[in-house]
Amino acid sequence: MSKTIWDRFAPIYSLAMKSQKNIYDYMYSHIADAVMGKKVLELATGPGLIAKNVAWSAERIVATDFSPEMIEQAKKGKVPSNVVFEIADASDLHYEDKFFDVVIIANALHVVPNPEKVLSEINRVLVDGGLLICPTFIHRSAAKKENLWAKILRLVGIHFAHQWTAGEFKTFIESNGWKITASQVVPGRIDLMYAECVRK
């Protein structure tokens, strides 16, 4: 998916996600617990909602997105002193090996054309025993892959490159060398599978 689409969507992203408030509240609570005192890298931060809401718990957060306009949106308003927003490509990170304690990639793996490459890069920059947090939008049924909300997103140019059910997403993660240590399906306009993972 091109940067142009996300640049265009950036000014209204936060507003659009208000319809998924219960999902974001769930993520804020669980992610804050998981990143307590940790050095964190967030990929696909969008307008920085997660980074800003869990910063109080982390030692430091480097929050990134490949869309320059998303990063501009993220820098608006109050930014916690331990959060830095940067432009970065999740499939080709410029960070050193084994540097971060936790990597977060929320609501993004399903729209990335090459999620295997992203997971490989995440593994590279995580410390040994580090934690991957990868909440991902999923579909309830293998027979019905796209609900009304997903169809609306497609009409505005946001496509799901991977239309996983919860079981399919778990299989994908595990087949790429990760073990899911905690997970929960959170219902919404599009359901979310919250997952915390470590390397096998």
User: Tens-of-pLDDT digits for all 200 residues of the chain?
Assistant: 444 554 554 444 555 555 578 999 999 999 999 999 999 999 999 999 999 999 999 999 999 999 998 999 999 999 999 999 999 999 999 999 999 999 999 999 998 989 999 999 999 999 999 999 999 999 876 545 555 445 545 544 556 668 899 999 999 999 999 999 999 999 988 899 999 999 99
Q: How far apart are CA 139 and CA 164, in angstroms?
A: 6
Alpha-carbon 28 to chain mean position: 12
- Per the listing, tokens 């993972």 go with 197
**What pTM, to 2 d.p., does this model score?**
0.86
The number of residues making up the chain comes to 200
Cβ contact 122:132 at 8 Å: yes
